[in-house]
Amino acid sequence: MIFTVTILGSNAAVPVLDKYPSAQIINIDHKYYLIDCGEGTQFQMLKYGIPKDKINQIFISHLHGDHVFGLIGLITSYHLAGRNKKLEIFAPSGIEEIIKVQLRSTGKEELCYQIVYHIVDTEVHQLVFEDKLVCVYSIPLIHRVPTSGYLFKEKQRAPKINKAIVEDFKLTPEQIKDLKNYKSIIAANGERLLPEFVIVHKYTPVSYAYCSDTAFNPAICEFIKGIDLLYHEATFLTVDNDQAIKSMHSTAKDAATIALQSNVKGLIIGHFSARYRDHDLLLQEAEAIFQNTSIADEGNVYHLDA
Amino acid sequence: MIFTVTILGSNAAVPVLDKYPSAQIINIDHKYYLIDCGEGTQFQMLKYGIPKDKINQIFISHLHGDHVFGLIGLITSYHLAGRNKKLEIFAPSGIEEIIKVQLRSTGKEELCYQIVYHIVDTEVHQLVFEDKLVCVYSIPLIHRVPTSGYLFKEKQRAPKINKAIVEDFKLTPEQIKDLKNYKSIIAANGERLLPEFVIVHKYTPVSYAYCSDTAFNPAICEFIKGIDLLYHEATFLTVDNDQAIKSMHSTAKDAATIALQSNVKGLIIGHFSARYRDHDLLLQEAEAIFQNTSIADEGNVYHLDA
């Protein structure tokens, strides 16, 4: 069972050598979900071995270029590769026009696959996507343009049954199903089997939230309370808090304060302004408030399944 | 005196690890001109030390994504950096809509600098830009969408005068100007000085042409006859000529044939299909027809000023 977060980029808008703008990959049991898609995301996928064909859902936080300019390239590459699976894009209003104008101008008005655009209401916290593995919720953020964070809540996974017991007691498929649904059964030999006796591993679902870009906004704490891992932008140091307020971004202290107040287990910070050469200063500022903090460097893989 | 061509990318449309889509920088005496702007071009500029603020003219061949998807990122970065110089973009019709829709959707409708769009007529060979250093001409190419190559013809540079002679004969600024204009003069001592006697170095202007993307089209030979260096796309090997014809691209043999028929001094080939892992095969196919061929690898710098 796998639940990982891979950082493809977390740079702020001004380009920096060897840094890439925002993009992250969630891998849940080899199903891949992309969050944000800054310029160069498809090249970063190649670099870090992400099988881009396994992505069927893309979640865009907002329409600033460093979060979305790589999307048209990815969409075009899917077409060139002959994709036939539907692609779902979740984003604030306006995304469809951006993509369609470019497809028309580049002679690719008719793609060989379907894109379904889901407009995300950036004012509310609600379910925006669900499949067998995960529920994804919007998180209303405060930024200069409509912006949504995303909360990935893994679903409870079916428990595993001890195979030796299945054989010893000659359990039928129906009996196995009952046990997985936490019902006790009577085996062929008349013995009563309790679920807790045959279930090897009761899995604890994990949860991850992506909050970028946003001004300091404690209102989000209720949505991300107790989650396993939070990515929160930390564009500035507190010494530049006036810039953070003006541009509706957060400081490293803000990010750590959100993590602390939400009682999350771990915090990743990124989206640092190009003015900072020494990222340790941002890390130290966050760690002073929330110890379990790390920096979202390109290629980092966070295992929530550990 | 400098005239260089730096390859930032020359990959075809399907992404390949460590390769970048089309973009080249012409540096003429520290004035920089950008040809094409595939996704990631601004990151490649950082990698190869190109001072992007010194670019005032961008020439786009056509609106396929691998030649243009990096433009919006570059334009946005100029804005974030507070650019105040005018930026001129030369491109086929449609470019302005692509850029404006994205600027509007990303909240950057009002840039802090001016963009002037020059629509290039892709049907004719004509002057499209001129400054003190260079004339740039369009080259009509044949592709699936309107496409123009670009011919950079350096202007004659002012000759240099032997400084010792200036001092020995006590030449006046007026006399120096006449000599630089190839007029003979009478020095203060009554001696007649001929221009060829005082001009140290008569510079031979150089010329460079960029032809991508295009089907095999010998009609362009008359426009690029005898130039110093030609970049010509070579998407396919001849064995895949049916693909070249169908997609309106060239083979390595086509590119070399154009170079030979145009009597150019050197040829660069690139824009190879992702199907080819061994680029030496493409090089060999071209070299069999035109010996002085090289491959446009990222970071290559070609000195026409040598």
One domain for residues A37 and A165: no
- A94 contacts: CB under 8 Å, gap ≥ 6: A63, B105
B-chain residues within 8 Å CB-CB of A98?
A: 101-102, 105
Confidence of residue B297 (pLDDT cuts 50, 70, 90): very high
Indicate the average pLDDT of chain B.
Answer: 95
| A230 touches A151 (CB < 8 A) | no
The shortest C-alpha distance from B253 to chain A (Å) reads: 25
Residue that terminates a domain, selected from B138, B173, B200: B200
Specify which residues B35 forms β-bridges with. Answer: B24, B59
Specify which residues B233 forms β-bridges with. Answer: B270
Confidence of residue B109 (pLDDT cuts 50, 70, 90): confident
Residue A14, chain B, CB below 8 Å: the answer is yes
A188 secondary structure, DSSP code: T
Confidence of residue A271 (pLDDT cuts 50, 70, 90): very high
Active site residue B66: yes
Residue A121 has pLDDT above 90, yes or no: yes
One domain for residues A193 and A222: no
| A294 touches A267 (CB < 8 A) | yes
B-chain residues within 8 Å CB-CB of A73?
A: 15, 39, 65, 69
| B305 touches B206 (CB < 8 A) | yes
Options B18, B29, B53, B66, the catalytic residue: B66
The CA angle A300-A301-A306, to the nearest 5 degrees, is 145
Question: Number of structural domains, chain A?
Answer: 2
A-chain residues within 8 Å CB-CB of B106?
A: 63-65, 68, 145
One domain for residues A100 and A39: yes
Closest by Cβ to A98, choosing from B64, B73, B101 = B101
Angstrom distance (rounded) from CA B124 to CA A271: 46
Residue that terminates a domain, selected from A147, A181, A200: A200
Q: What is the pLDDT of residues B212-264, one digit of tens each?
A: 999 999 999 999 999 999 999 999 999 999 999 999 999 999 999 999 999 99
In this prediction, what percent of chain A has a pLDDT beyond 90? 87
What local confidence, expressed as pLDDT, does residue A170 receive? 92
One domain for residues A294 and A169: no
What local confidence, expressed as pLDDT, does residue A5 receive? 98
Residue type at B295 in one-letter notation: I
* Other C-beta atoms lying within 10 Å of the C-beta of residue B282: 25
The shortest C-alpha distance from A301 to chain B (Å) reads: 20
Is A47 in Cβ contact with B14 (below 8 Å)? no
One domain for residues B55 and B180: no
Q: Is A155 exposed, middle or buried (0-12, 13-18, 19+ CB in 10 A)?
A: middle
Confidence of residue B162 (pLDDT cuts 50, 70, 90): confident
Residue B161 has pLDDT above 90, yes or no: no
User: Quick one: closest CA in A to B17, which residue?
Assistant: A46
Closest by Cβ to A98, choosing from B13, B64, B105 = B105
Domain holding B192, by residue range, is 160-200
One domain for residues B243 and B105: yes
Q: Strands (DSSP E) along A62-218, which ranges?
A: 87-91, 115-119, 127-130, 134-140, 148-154, 160-161, 185-186, 192-193, 199-201, 207-211
One domain for residues A21 and A140: yes
What is the token pair recorded at A12? 């702020």
User: Quick one: closest CA in A to B19, which residue?
Assistant: A43
**If you average pLDDT over residues B19-44, what whole number do you get?**
97
The CA angle A273-A277-A283, to the nearest 5 degrees, is 75
One domain for residues B180 and B210: no
What local confidence, expressed as pLDDT, does residue B3 receive? 97
User: Quick one: closest CA in B to A40, which residue?
Assistant: B40
Confidence of residue B100 (pLDDT cuts 50, 70, 90): very high
- Look at A168 and A108; give whichever has higher pLDDT: A168
What local confidence, expressed as pLDDT, does residue B200 receive? 81
What local confidence, expressed as pLDDT, does residue A169 receive? 92
One domain for residues A118 and A192: no
What local confidence, expressed as pLDDT, does residue A193 receive? 92
What local confidence, expressed as pLDDT, does residue B298 receive? 97
The shortest C-alpha distance from A219 to chain B (Å) reads: 25
What local confidence, expressed as pLDDT, does residue B86 receive? 98
Residue of A299, A168, A153 lying closest to A230 (CA atoms): A153
Residue that terminates a domain, selected from B200, B223, B252: B200
In this prediction, what percent of chain B has a pLDDT beyond 70? 100
Confidence of residue A33 (pLDDT cuts 50, 70, 90): very high
Residue A237, chain B, CB below 8 Å: the answer is no
What local confidence, expressed as pLDDT, does residue A284 receive? 98
Is B101 in Cβ contact with A68 (below 8 Å)? no
What local confidence, expressed as pLDDT, does residue A306 receive? 63
Residue A202 has pLDDT above 80, yes or no: no
User: Quick one: closest CA in A to B145, which residue?
Assistant: A107
Radius of gyration for the alpha carbons in chain A, expressed in angstroms and rounded: 22
User: Quick one: closest CA in B to A275, which residue?
Assistant: B81
Is A16 in Cβ contact with B107 (below 8 Å)? no
What local confidence, expressed as pLDDT, does residue A289 receive? 98
* CATH number for the domain that contains residue A8: 3.60.15.10
What is the token pair recorded at B254? 């086509």
One domain for residues B234 and B250: yes
Angstrom distance (rounded) from CA A32 to CA A23: 13
One domain for residues B195 and B210: no
Write the DSSP assignment of B270-282 as a string of letters: E---TT-S-HHHH
The shortest C-alpha distance from B91 to chain A (Å) reads: 12
What local confidence, expressed as pLDDT, does residue B39 receive? 97
Residue B23 has pLDDT above 90, yes or no: yes
One domain for residues B65 and B184: no
Listed by number, the residues of chain A in 20-49 with a beta carbon closer than 8 Å to a beta carbon of chain B are 20, 39-40, 42-43, 46-47
Is A107 in Cβ contact with B77 (below 8 Å)? no
Residue of B4, B79, B2 lying closest to B35 (CA atoms): B4
- A141 contacts: CB under 8 Å, gap ≥ 6: A61, A62, A122, A147, A148, A149, A211, A212, A213, A214, A215, A217, A220
Residue B269 has pLDDT above 90, yes or no: yes
Q: What is the pLDDT of residues B172-202, one digit of tens each?
A: 999 999 998 889 999 999 999 998 888 887 7
